């Protein structure tokens, strides 16, 4: 596992496109991911749900209301129903009729060009099967060495680790969450390779602790180039951003 993680980072701060290059194209769509790759991003970050009929579908929210012309929960809709939605017009007329992608379609489009931070969306103590679906797609596309799987739900990470133990996992968290998920993570004692905190939580003391525990640190969502340089200099391993081109220029002069 450690060799996979080390090969991914290569002693540099990686830049991940947050839901793709989402400042310039509709989030969590193939155009946003392809643009992130074209801008030179090391990776992309995306959000996965299980559809009603068992497909790994990319949408941020638990409903489709915000980023499509439809309404309803993702897990209550079939893949065909989700594919019928317009996921681009809300962002701009030039993206009209862009469709929600599956995880497999993202891997096929950019999986050999960028690393993929796969965030499992889960808000329950029990599972709807999303972990199994994600694991199956990763294995089918032989992406075990090109992904890191993350979630705000420690139990989802625990379930995924039990299914596909050879894939790195990262624990997502933010300040002032309604449930103390950090306490839950400590309680279940799940070994994991990375921490994914909100960037405002990071300072030198945090980084000293994280490195002492052996964690890689990938942080979100950073769009200020000055803050990005600060985080790099603190030793952050990955920066998740809506603007990969801006972050690359700040960090590497690209």
pLDDT value, residue 178: 81
- Domain 2-252 class? alpha beta
The answer to whether residue 237 scores a pLDDT higher than 60 is yes
| Residue ranges of domains in the chain | 2-252
pLDDT, tens digit (0-9, with 9 covering 90-100), for 85-140: 999 999 999 999 999 999 999 999 999 999 999 999 999 899 999 999 999 999 99
Name the CA dihedral angle for 73, 47, 65, 130, rounded to a multiple of 10 degrees.
-10
- In angstroms, the CA 54 to CA 102 distance is 11
Q: Which residues are catalytic?
A: 18, 60
Least Cα distance to 154 among 129, 123, 176 occurs for 123
Kindly state the percentage of the chain with pLDDT values over 70: 100
Q: Which 3 state secondary structure label does DSSP give 175?
A: coil
- In angstroms, the CA 29 to CA 58 distance is 8
Query: Do the Cβ atoms of 32 and 22 come closer than 8 Å?
Result: yes
The answer to whether residue 34 scores a pLDDT higher than 70 is yes
The mean predicted confidence, pLDDT, of the chain is: 97
Asked whether the whole model's pTM tops 0.75, one would answer yes
How wide is the angle at C-alpha 124 spanned by C-alphas 88 and 77, nearest 5°? 40
Write down the H helix ranges in 68-202. Answer: 79-83, 103-110, 130-140, 154-163, 181-188
- In angstroms, the CA 71 to CA 81 distance is 11
């Amino acid at each position: 596992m450690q060799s996979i993680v080390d090969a991914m980072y290569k002693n540099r701060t990686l830049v991940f496109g947050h839901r793709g290059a989402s400042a310039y194209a509709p989030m969590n769509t193939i155009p946003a991911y392809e643009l992130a790759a074209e801008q030179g991003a090391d990776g992309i970050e995306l959000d996965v749900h299980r559809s009603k009929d068992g497909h790994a579908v990319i949408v941020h929210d638990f409903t489709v209301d915000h980023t499509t012309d439809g309404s309803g929960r993702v897990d209550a809709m079939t893949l065909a129903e989700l594919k019928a939605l317009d996921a681009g017009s809300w962002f701009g007329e030039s993206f009209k009729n862009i469709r929600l992608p599956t995880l497999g379609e993202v891997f096929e489009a950019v999986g050999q060009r960028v690393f993929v931070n796969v965030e499992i969306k889960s808000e329950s103590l029990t599972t709807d099967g999303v972990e199994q679906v994600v694991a199956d797609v990763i294995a089918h596309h032989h992406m075990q060495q090109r992904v890191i799987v993350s979630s705000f739900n420690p139990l989802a990470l625990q379930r995924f680790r039990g299914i596909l133990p050879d894939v790195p996992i990262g624990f997502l968290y933010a300040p002032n969450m309604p449930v103390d998920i950090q306490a839950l993570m400590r309680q279940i004692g799940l070994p994991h390779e990375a921490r994914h905190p909100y960037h405002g939580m990071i300072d030198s003391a945090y980084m000293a602790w994280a490195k002492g525990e052996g964690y890689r640190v990938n942080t979100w969502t950073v769009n200020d180039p000055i803050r990005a340089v600060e985080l790099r200099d603190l030793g952050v391993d990955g920066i998740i951003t809506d603007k990969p081109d801006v972050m690359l220029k700040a960090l590497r002069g690209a």
